[in-house]
Amino acid sequence: MKVIAITNQKGGVGKTTTSVNLAAALAEKKSRILLVDIDPQGSATSVLDSKENENPSIYSALIGEKSAAELVISTRIKNLSLIPSNLDLAGAEIEVARMDDHMMRLRTCFEGLRKQSLFDYILLDCPPSLGILMSNALAAADEILVPIQCEYYALEGLGLLMEVTDRIRASGANPTLSISGLLLTMFDSRTNLNPAVEKEVRSHFQDVVYKSVIPRTVRFAEAPSHGKTIFEHDPHGSGTLAYRKLAKEFLDRQKQGMAFVNKTDQ
């Protein structure tokens, strides 16, 4: 079982869109997936949990009230389970920070799940910040997947994220943390800017960047408003095809053992 943190400290880059739809795409390919929503906004939860705000959230595990296994709920999508978020999670930044093992709370939560081997992959939908919840996600994860919007400003936060990742490794909280890839999102080939940004990112980061690119389409904005994944909302659209392609590439990389630790320092 591998834990993948899907994260970018910059908001609006397609992080939750990627978390939900990559999870659905991998489940479609018969991988056993657990999506953990650790963003207090709970956007992923609102798509996958029909009883939103009625189920306990990952907050209960972070403060030691329940085990992570007790919080897993099934979804309408075969092979895809969820640990929800709710507004209580917003208070975790303060409560967890007061604990002696505040950096390791989430990692400890997942120990039981790792032993049970109920899932092939756990995907973490992280908040757009560099606080306690993000630090816990990085300490708990085996790898990081970073969605990057195809614009120059979107690259600004990447260096800071990499610095935090280096600190997590150096602190001993997670010395083997690696990057599984950078994913270009919201790509529009009709503009001059997006292809230029793609060329620059691929030139600098090379194999770290996924070959799959997620296009800009209004369907991504429509789907969560209906409480649906892109697969349910637009089964044959460009967004659906892109996430299917990404899921295949993701699994191919996992089989090849591709992960990158120092490439981003180039």
Percentage above 90 pLDDT, the chain: 60
* pLDDT confidence bin for 259, thresholds 50/70/90: low
Whether 124 and 5 have beta carbons less than 8 Å apart is answered as yes
Question: What is the amino acid identity at position 149?
Answer: Q
pLDDT digits (tens, 9 = 90+) for 65-87: 999 999 999 999 999 999 999 88
Secondary structure (3-state) at 207: helix
Q: What is the pLDDT of residue 11?
A: 79
What gap in Å lies between CA 219 and CA 91, rounded to an integer?
33
Q: Which domains does the chain have, with CATH numbers?
A: 2-265 (3.40.50.300)
> For residues 129 and 135, what is the distance between their CA atoms, to the nearest angstrom?
9
Inform me whether the pLDDT recorded for 39 exceeds 90.
Answer: yes
Confidence of residue 266 (pLDDT cuts 50, 70, 90): very low
The helix/strand/coil state of 113 is helix
Per-residue confidence (pLDDT) for residue 123, from 0 to 100: 98
Share of the chain above pLDDT 70, in %: 95
Q: Are 32 and 1 in contact (CB under 8 A)?
A: no
In whole angstroms, give the CA distance from residue 119 to residue 134: 22
User: Which range among 88-97, 106-115, 189-198, 213-222 shows the weakest confidence by mean pLDDT?
Assistant: 189-198
Q: Taking 70 as the threshold, does the pLDDT of residue 179 lie above it?
A: yes
d(CA 45, CA 40): 10
Residues 86 and 78: their CA atoms lie apart, in Å, by 23
Residues 6+ apart with CB under 8 A from 155: 148, 197, 201
- Residue 133's H or E segment, with its range, is helix 132-140
Which residues lie below 8 Å from residue 10, measured CB to CB, with a gap of 6+? 128, 149, 154, 156, 157
Contact 11, 128 (CB under 8 A): yes
The DSSP string of 152-188 is: GGGGHHHHHHHHHHHHHHHHTSSTT-EEEEEEEEEE-
Q: What is the pLDDT of residue 139?
A: 94
The dihedrals phi and psi of 80, each to the nearest 5 degrees, come to -120, 120
**Which pLDDT band, with edges at 50, 70 and 90, does 263 fall under?**
very low
Task: Check residue 93 and give its pLDDT.
Answer: 80
- Alpha-carbon distances of 202 from 81, 198, 206, 208, rounded to whole Å: 33, 6, 5, 8
Whether 238 has a pLDDT exceeding 70, the answer reads yes
